[in-house]
């Protein structure tokens, strides 16, 4: 298959074409030629052309759930990859929150086999503990032999400091990384939303910011003690940003991500008790959002994730305190992030959070948009205004908080594994 990207602005630090408008010829999954606008012509090629089209290396999401195996009614690998592609992602790091959890070499191999041949690369993260129960270490080394480089219990924060210490020490020996979701359950308790005057007004139990910050502080100490790298997933508070910023300044090997949802929405969204906004970590305050954006700008926060957590209607459309946590976001993550940060981050800075920085956090190699490199690409319009329509979403679960909302920035096409997906 031949594809010509015509008159596209290249966003690819390290490439000689970075921040230049180019024509790009793709043949058999490789970038074979670049030239000045209008110079590449081939009547047999599929041409992608539009006003204000940009191209970058394919976007990568460091935190998604597809629910297969065990919970296929919420999301399958096929439907999740379809949603990812339509959100502009060509690769995802799949969390082990399945039934059973991804806790063995066999389960990793199952995911890889199911995802083989798809446009979107699915990289499974293995569970840190057996079945995510927080008691015993999983078969980490065996999973690593199948290609797993990240271990995490996802949104079940590891409460046992000894277990976390052993996990950090063990994974260090074979070059893997621990992803930590920071929440001290003894502090968070049965909280439902961010602890604030708003939680008091709504009569809902609050989750204080220190529930996250205490756990981040603990894991920073453990990472320093073991001299191991660590990644903090979906941080949400100003205090967390400050802790990570100081630790990085001290030379610690730390990375962190934030969900796009937490960059655009604060806890005032919960005034109507709509469970679509019930997520973990909870939506925080406007001042926390400002701190998160500052963290993105100065490099404290390395990347942005969709934190895609599909839930079926039966688990979301119920009394707020009984409703499940989580929101889908693959198809709206870039637009939410662009809308939230357009006055703070340049398009180059924003794209780095979805490309080079994201892949680096997951231990993957980065690529550039240049001749001789694989065509793993996302074509996008950073300024396209659009309204999120339920009918246009491809996830099996429809718990997306942005349905009906106006956003800025949209993927136009994705190219990977010699496949092309045009995004409607």
Max Cα distance, the chain (Å): 65
Indicate if 176 and 207 belong to the same structural domain. yes
In a domain, 367, yes or no: no
Closest to 194 (Cα-Cα) out of 272, 276, 277: 277
Indicate if 299 and 397 belong to the same structural domain. no
**pLDDT tens track of the chain, all 424 residues?**
899 999 999 999 999 999 999 999 999 999 999 999 999 999 999 999 999 999 999 999 999 999 999 999 999 999 999 999 999 999 999 999 999 999 999 999 999 999 999 999 999 999 999 999 999 999 999 999 999 999 999 999 999 999 999 999 999 999 999 999 999 999 999 999 999 999 999 999 999 999 999 999 999 999 999 999 999 999 999 999 999 999 999 999 999 999 999 999 999 999 999 999 999 999 999 999 999 999 999 999 999 999 999 999 999 999 999 999 999 999 999 999 999 999 999 999 999 999 999 999 999 998 899 999 999 999 999 999 999 999 999 999 999 999 999 999 999 999 999 999 999 7
Indicate if 44 and 147 belong to the same structural domain. no
Indicate if 386 and 285 belong to the same structural domain. no
In a domain, 152, yes or no: yes
Closest to 307 (Cα-Cα) out of 339, 340, 279: 279
175: CB partners within 8 A, 6+ apart: 144, 149, 363
In a domain, 366, yes or no: no
Indicate if 49 and 114 belong to the same structural domain. no
CATH of the domain at 36: 2.30.40.10
Indicate if 21 and 145 belong to the same structural domain. no
Indicate if 148 and 175 belong to the same structural domain. yes
In a domain, 29, yes or no: yes
In a domain, 323, yes or no: yes
CATH of the domain at 122: 3.20.20.140
- Token pair for residue 121? 């690369």
Closest to 180 (Cα-Cα) out of 108, 257, 111, 104: 257
In a domain, 187, yes or no: yes
Q: Which of 333, 361, 389 lies at the terminal end of a domain, its last residue?
A: 361
Q: What pLDDT score does 30 carry? A: 97
Indicate if 84 and 122 belong to the same structural domain. yes
Number of domains, the chain: 2
Q: Which of 361, 390, 413 lies at the terminal end of a domain, its last residue?
A: 361
Indicate if 154 and 239 belong to the same structural domain. yes
Q: Known catalytic residue: 307? A: yes
46-49/2-11 β-pairing: parallel
Indicate if 357 and 333 belong to the same structural domain. yes
Indicate if 81 and 205 belong to the same structural domain. yes
Task: Provide the 10 A C-beta neighbour count for residue 378.
Answer: 28
Q: What pLDDT score does 381 carry? A: 98
pTM above 0.85, yes or no: yes
Indicate if 411 and 384 belong to the same structural domain. yes
In a domain, 215, yes or no: yes
Distances (CA, A) of 61 to 3, 190, 272: 25, 29, 30
Closest to 229 (Cα-Cα) out of 297, 295, 173, 182: 173
19: CB partners within 8 A, 6+ apart: 9, 10, 11, 348
Range of the domain at 288: 60-361
Q: Which of 341, 361, 381 lies at the terminal end of a domain, its last residue?
A: 361
Selecting among 153, 302, 307, 367, the annotated active-site residue is 307
């Amino acid at each position: 298959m031949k594809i010509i990207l015509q008159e596209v602005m290249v966003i690819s630090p390290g490439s000689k074409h970075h921040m230049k408008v180019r024509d790009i010829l793709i043949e058999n999954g490789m970038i074979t030629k670049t030239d000045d606008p209008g110079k590449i012509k081939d009547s047999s090629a599929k041409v992608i052309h539009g006003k204000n089209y940009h191209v970058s290396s394919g976007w990568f999401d460091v935190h998604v759930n597809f629910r297969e195996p065990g919970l296929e009614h919420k999301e399958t690998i096929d439907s999740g990859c379809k949603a990812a592609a339509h959100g502009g992602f060509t690769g995802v790091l799949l969390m082990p929150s399945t039934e059973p959890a991804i806790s063995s070499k066999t389960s990793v191999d199952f995911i890889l086999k199911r995802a083989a041949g798809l446009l979107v690369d699915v990289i499974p993260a293995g569970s840190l503990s057996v079945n995510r129960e927080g008691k015993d270490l999983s078969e980490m080394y065996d999973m690593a032999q199948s290609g797993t480089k990240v271990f995490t219990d996802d949104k079940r924060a590891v409460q046992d400091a000894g277990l976390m210490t052993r996990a950090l020490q063990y994974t260090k020996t074979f070059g893997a990384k621990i992803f930590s979701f920071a929440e001290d359950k003894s502090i968070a308790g049965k909280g439902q939303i961010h602890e604030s005057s708003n939680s008091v007004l709504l009569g809902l139990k609050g989750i204080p910011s220190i529930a996250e910050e205490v756990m981040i502080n603990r894991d920073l100490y453990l990472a320093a003690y073991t001299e191991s790298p660590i990644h903090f997933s979906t941080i949400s508070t100003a205090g967390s940003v400050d802790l990570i910023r100081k630790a990085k300044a001290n030379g610690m090997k730390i990375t962190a991500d934030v969900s796009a949802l937490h960059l655009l929405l604060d806890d005032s969204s919960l005034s109507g008790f709509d469970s679509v906004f019930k997520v973990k970590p909870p939506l925080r305050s406007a001042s926390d959002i400002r701190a998160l954006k500052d963290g993105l700008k100065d490099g404290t926060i390395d990347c942005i994730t969709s934190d895609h957590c599909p839930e079926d209607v039966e688990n979301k459309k119920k009394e707020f305190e009984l409703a499940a946590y989580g929101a889908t976001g693959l198809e709206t993550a870039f637009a939410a992030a662009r809308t939230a940060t357009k006055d703070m981050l340049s398009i180059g800075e924003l794209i780095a959070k979805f490309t080079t920085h994201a892949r680096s956090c997951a231990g993957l190699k980065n690529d550039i948009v240049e001749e001789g490199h694989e065509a793993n690409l996302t074509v996008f319009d950073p300024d396209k205004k659009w309204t999120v329509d339920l009918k246009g979403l491809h996830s099996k679960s429809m718990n997306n908080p942005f349905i009906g909302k106006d956003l800025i920035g949209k993927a136009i096409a994705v190219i990977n594994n010699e496949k092309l997906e045009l995004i409607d």
